[in-house]
Amino acid sequence: MPTRYGHHLDTSDVVIVGAGAVGAACAYYAARSGLSVTVVDRGAVAGGTTGAGEGNLLVSDKEPGPELDLALLSARLWRELADALPPEIEYETKGGLVVAGDEPGLAALRTLSGAQAAAGVASSYLPAGRLQDAEPHLAPGLAGGVLYPQDAQVQPALAAAHLLRVSGARLHLGAEVTAVLRGPGGAVRGVRTPRGDLLAPAVVNATGTWAGDLAGLAGVTVPVLPRRGYVLVTEPLPRIVRRKVYAADYVADVASDSAALQTSAVVEGTPAGPVLIGASRERVGFDRTLSVEVIRRLAARAAALFPVLAGVRVMRAYQGFRPYLPDHLPAIGPDPRAPGLLHACGHEGAGIGLAPATGRLIAAALTATPAPLDTAPFRPDRFVERSPA
């Protein structure tokens, strides 16, 4: 017999597990499609990876293919959301600048930007002599760069909170899902929490780095792993870094399968004044031990790219865990192994940027309406080993 929350039986069209940016976007677009929505999270809004992110909305770091298609759709949707949500989300179309330290790196960068252009990415080449026009404080001696006007940024925790607010979803925070409820035929019919059952014919797994655990509760496997990263936050400064600026090797780090520590220079200013410095990647499980070595490397790489930062104080450093899948593509859509279960997870470091498009795909699946792009590459069951014929 279902349990009641207070005096009301908690039923809706869809239960979304996870109150980060992806879960919030799923709630927003599901509600816009006319569905009643319940969102449940064992913690707070944006209490996981979303709250530890920089809020990057990037097309520049993606090679042509399904993820770039998802990012371009999201870029358009973020522009729409910026008009629908309050200015507190700090949506900023500041653009991105990718720089190369030598001629081979620059040649590879120009090849990538050419391939991206065919997919709809706008960019312009900047030779060495024009880099300081775009970013006056850049180090001398760089070979050149590519400017990406479509790159943008948002304050991720505030964006998630406002998406949830305008969605009108019923929100249950501090309530851990302990079971995925299944009907006699195996179809999902809701979730169980210590406070009671939340009933719905559809459940969306938007639990980020813990998505494998929730999938396990439903009896299926989604091989999400955590990939740790750090962000350094400087003291408030005048706008000495105008855009998101990163070294070309960042693209290779994003695409890498290595579990070892990788660091590349990623530097960006914010409307509030502090400069954010990244990026590191390493697979160390959920180890939160502070790594002085990572912080030292990030600071050194940032100062090499922007010498003006060498004397600036770092006020704090924080870490988070990117939800990583082996092929670097998220899992989005219905899981045929558990009818009624949908996944929206595995976005690694791009979840903030890809959240709106993910929400649109989930809403299309929930309402059996055409999706805005091909969803086949994101099938949640694509990792299942198939027996040879």
Quick check: 344 pLDDT over 90? yes
Q: Supply the pLDDT for residue 389.
A: 44
- Rg of the chain (C-alpha set): 21
Report yes or no: 127 and 142 within 8 Å, Cβ to Cβ: no
Share of the chain above pLDDT 70, in %: 94
* pLDDT band, residue 347 (cuts 50/70/90): very high
Which of 2-6, 303-307, 358-362 is predicted with the least confidence, judged by mean pLDDT? 2-6
Q: What is the pLDDT confidence band of residue 385, given thresholds at 50, 70 and 90?
A: low
pLDDT at 2 over 50: no
**What is residue 88's predicted lDDT score, i.e. its pLDDT?**
93
260 vs 67 pLDDT, higher one: 67
* 8 A C-beta contact, residue 235 and residue 315: yes
Per-residue pLDDT tens digits for 238-251: 999 999 999 988 66
CA distance 150 to 216: 38
Cα separation of 266 and 92, whole Å? Answer: 17
105-122 pLDDT, tens per residue?
Answer: 999 999 999 999 999 999
Q: Which one-letter amino acid corresponds to residue 77?
A: L
Say what the pLDDT of residue 80 is.
97
Residue 252's pLDDT is: 59
> Mean of the pLDDT values across residues 355-364?
98
Neighbouring CB atoms inside 10 A of 109's CB total 23
3 or 224, greater pLDDT:
224
CB 262 within 8 A of CB 253: yes
3-state SS track over 107-164: HHHHHHHHHHHHHCCCCEEEEHHHHHHHCCCCCCCCCEEEEECCCEECCHHHHHHHHH
Report whether 363 contacts 344 (CB < 8 A): no
- C-alpha span between 253 and 350 (Å, rounded): 13
pLDDT tens per residue, range 23-61: 999 999 999 999 999 999 999 999 999 998 889 999 999
* The amino acid at 377: P
**What pLDDT is stored for residue 205 in this prediction?**
98
What are the structural domains, with CATH classification, of the chain? 9-51+157-224+328-378 (3.50.50.60), 101-133+141-149 (no CATH), 225-324 (3.30.9.10)
pLDDT in tens, 136-165: 999 999 999 999 999 999 999 999 999 999
pLDDT in tens, 185-240: 889 999 999 999 999 999 999 999 999 999 999 999 999 999 999 999 999 999 99
Q: In what order do the strands lie in the sheet with 225-234?
A: 124-127, 144-148, 96-100, 244-247, 262-269, 275-281, 225-234, 314-324
pLDDT digits (tens, 9 = 90+) for 265-324: 899 998 889 999 988 888 888 888 888 899 999 999 999 999 999 999 999 998 999 999
Q: Is the pLDDT of residue 5 over 70?
A: no
pLDDT grade for 7, boundaries at 50, 70 and 90? very low
Sheet of 179-182: strand order equals 179-182, 188-193, 196-199
Alpha carbon distance 349, 156 (integer Å): 12
CB 247 within 8 A of CB 312: no
What pLDDT does 388 receive?
44
- pLDDT confidence of residue 271: 84
